[in-house]
Amino acid sequence: MQWTPREDLLTFEEIERAATLLVDTFGIESIRITGGEPTVRANLSKLIEKLSKLNVDLSLTTNGATLPLVAEDLYNAGLDRINISLDTLDRQRFESLTRRDNLKQVLQGIEIAKSVGFNPVKINMVVIKGFNDDEVLDFVSFGRENGLVVRFIEFMPLDADETWKKSQVMSQNEILALISSHYDLEPISRGSSPAARWKFADGVGEIGIIATVSEAFCDACDRIRLTADGKFRNCLFAIEEYDVRALLRDNAEDEKINELFSHAVKQKWEGHQIGKSVFIRPSKSMSQIGG
């Protein structure tokens, strides 16, 4: 684990300025706070309060371990929605995966998030063949019983230890076939969302599948990313970054920062090419980029 020096991270004011430019100039309609893990940032609710004034859909993705302590503050600060990353419901498997025995706290955090008013609460499960693919139906039941939206995510080549193999990917078709063998599903219109969605025919909830590997949705993707250390990325799998932090700290004029955003988005490639010989793995892991 390589920790980023505190002085390299964007301040709340720098994040607010960049976000304001993106909203006011380019019409960005939603902002998601990710990480690493955003709740380790002191006084996170102050950032939420600043961004909530931008009139956007404001959400946060977290591992949920500290949600019992911060959920109410985040909700009161103006956070609209919350996504919780949870890849297993088995305590030993959870500890093996995360190196922490925190499953109990995460489950408590889910309940507290619901109780303070977050709706919907979404669960993100990365499905890995041979590791947790035997829990897909458990997560379906967990979501239906607790009023949660579960989103199954194909395993992507952004793992920190770089052990990813295509054989470990449980594809959208495989996930859907498994769930459909037990439940009747009806498709929901997708739009530009990264998740393809289905509702249960009996009316009890819905699921989503993010099929970055087997059913790439690059042609409809409208996501951009600003990392915690101020690098702008036009794709999750981009191999080039653009230094927004330098401009912010040089007190650059708005127009110059907007020019960087425009230029970077124009360089967005046609597709990430995962699984093909021309694919180039990003030098950073998901925890360094932000999901």
Is the sign of the CA dihedral 120, 67, 77, 254 positive or negative?
A: negative
Q: What is the CA radius of gyration of the chain?
A: 19
Per-residue model confidence (pLDDT) at position 277:
46
* pLDDT tens, residue order, the chain (291 aa): 677 788 999 999 999 999 999 999 999 999 999 977 899 899 999 999 999 999 999 999 999 999 999 999 999 999 999 999 999 999 999 998 888 999 999 999 999 999 999 999 999 999 999 999 999 999 999 999 999 999 999 987 654 555 657 788 899 999 999 999 999 999 998 777 788 999 999 999 999 998 877 776 667 778 899 999 999 988 876 778 999 999 999 999 999 999 999 999 998 877 555 555 445 555 555 455 554
Sheet holding 231-233, edge to edge: 225-226, 231-233, 242-243
Burial class (CB in 10 A: 0-12, 13-18, 19+), 111: middle
Per-residue model confidence (pLDDT) at position 170:
93
Pairing of strands 231-233, 225-226: antiparallel
Per-residue model confidence (pLDDT) at position 159:
47
Distance from first CA to last CA of the chain, Å, rounded? 17
CA distances from 128 to 64, 226, 263 (A): 20, 27, 36
Instruction: Tell me which CATH homologous superfamily contains domain 6-289.
Output: Aldolase class I (3.20.20.70)
Cβ-based neighbours of 63, under 8 Å, separated by 6 or more: 37, 39, 84, 85, 86, 98, 106
Q: Are 129 and 89 in contact (CB under 8 A)?
A: no
Closest CA to 240 of 289, 206, 194, 170: 289
Pairing of strands 57-62, 81-85: parallel
Place of tokens 């500290």: 66
Residue 213 structure tokens? 């590997």
Per-residue model confidence (pLDDT) at position 32:
95
Per-residue model confidence (pLDDT) at position 97:
86
| SS3 sequence of 1-53 | CCCCCHHHCCCHHHHHHHHHHHHHHHCCCEEEECCCCHHHCCCHHHHHHHHHH
Per-residue model confidence (pLDDT) at position 289:
56
- How far apart CA 75 and CA 164 sit, in angstroms, is 36
Per-residue model confidence (pLDDT) at position 35:
77
At 4, the amino acid letter reads: T
- How far apart CA 191 and CA 219 sit, in angstroms, is 11
Residue 46 structure tokens? 């102050």
Distance, C-alpha 179 to centroid of its chain: 23
φ, ψ of residue 114 to 5 degrees: the values are -65, -40
Strands (DSSP E) found in the chain? 30-33, 57-62, 81-85, 121-127, 149-154, 185-188, 196-200, 206-210, 225-226, 231-233, 242-243
Q: Kindly provide the b/e burial profile for residues 171-183, where b requires at least 16 CB atoms within 10 angstroms of the residue's own CB.
A: bbebbbebbeeeb
Per-residue model confidence (pLDDT) at position 158:
53
Per-residue model confidence (pLDDT) at position 135:
98
Per-residue model confidence (pLDDT) at position 161:
59
Per-residue model confidence (pLDDT) at position 194:
81
Q: Which sequence spans correspond to the domains of the chain?
A: 6-289
